[in-house]
Amino acid sequence: MKKQVSVIIPNFNGRDYLKDCLASLNQQHFRDFEVILVDNASTDDSLSLAKELCPAIKEILLSENFGFCRAVNEGIKASRAPFVLLLNNDTVVDPDFVGTLYEAIKGKEKVFSCASQMRKMTDPSRMDDGGDFYCALGWAFARGKDKPYEKYTKPGAIFFSCAGAAIYRREVFEKIGYFDEIHFAYLEDLDVGYRARIFGYENRYEPKAIVYHMGSGTTGSRYNEFKVRYSARNNLYVVYKNMPVFQLLLNLPFLLAGGIIKYFFFRKREMGGEYFRGLREAFPLMKPEKKVRFRPENFPHYVRIQMELWGNIIRRAMEFR
């Protein structure tokens, strides 16, 4: 019997995290869901542990580590549920998590995704992510990072959902495309959320769906050379891909200013070279066939997006308060 939700967990050597993640899914009050584990050629005993903890789990085994995007795409395509819930393996969810996200998106045809309230596993009183935004400086940011979770209890519109713990309307992927596997990891959720916005869909934040996130469970610290390089590369690629020429020109001064500020930020952390390396690696990816084709009927959506890109500069500044 077809389930309403498919929970898709990408995994790479995640044994240390999977036990608690799957245990929390086993305790869900809402039961109309399946779990699909997509494994990126792990060398630990993740798969046997998953089967032991969740005998009904469906496993998709990839031949090598293709990264987050390929893993979740394989899971989405294997799913038959109308909604897919992407969940990092280094998370623990509340008992009402799946059901709350399902209720938040069910019946809302214009909502593409719905993000959860992500709290820090190491300090549950603090936020990890209260909805993701993007601004004209070319900066993606998680609202509420490290702040008390009580300040982020209102649902509302966001620019995009963090794919580490969010539900998506599966049929929309057929229209706008799946996660872009060029990304490998980082900002792939910005890209797919941005595309959905161009097509007129919304992304929402649902604070009653609570998840505790370890963070950087696979790649290490908050800032590391891999993350800095791939984030810089992917960010420039996202801008090229999703902004038509007129919007690129409109935002060019902001994007240049944002890039310079970021360079000095990472230079202070002795990673300025990796940041520049990532920017250089973005240019070969900028092929015309990769751009989202401009359609006149989507022009009002571009206008709405642009107003948010400018407004989110102020929102980002407010996050420092």
pLDDT at 306: 98
Alpha-helix runs per DSSP H in 106-244: 170-176, 188-198, 225-242
- Rounded CA-CA distance 312/309 in Å is 5
pLDDT at 215: 80
- Count the Cβ atoms, other than its own, within 10 Å of residue 47: 17
Helix (H/G/I), strand (E/B), else coil: 142: strand
SS3 content of the chain, % helix, strand, coil (to 5): 45, 20, 35
Which is it for strands 83-87 and 5-11: parallel, antiparallel or unpaired?
A: parallel
Q: Which residues pair with 249 in a beta bridge?
A: none
- Please list, in sequence order, all residues whose beta carbon lies within 8 angstroms of the beta carbon of residue 76, skipping any fewer than 6 positions away: 6, 8, 84, 168, 170, 173, 178
- Please list, in sequence order, all residues whose beta carbon lies within 8 angstroms of the beta carbon of residue 120, skipping any fewer than 6 positions away: 126, 127, 128, 146, 212, 213, 215
CATH number attached to the domain at 5-213: 3.90.550.10
Contact 90, 10 (CB under 8 A): no
Closest CA to 37 of 15, 7, 17: 7
pLDDT at 319: 83
State pLDDT tens for residues 192-231.
Answer: 999 999 999 999 999 999 999 998 644 445 789 999 999 9
Six token digits for residue 62: 């990839």
DSSP 38-79: EE---SSSHHHHHHHH-TT-EEEE-SS---HHHHHHHHHHH-
pLDDT at 318: 87
Closest CA to 85 of 70, 100, 95: 100
pLDDT at 221: 58
pLDDT at 220: 47
All CATH 3.90.550.10 domain ranges of the chain, comma separated, are 5-213
Averaged in consecutive runs of 10 residues, what is the pLDDT profile of the chain (321 residues)? 94 95 98 98 95 95 96 97 98 98 98 98 97 98 96 98 98 97 94 98 98 71 87 98 97 98 96 97 97 97 98 90 69
For 70-83, give one letter per residue: b (16+ CB within 10 A) or e.
bbbbbbbeebebbb
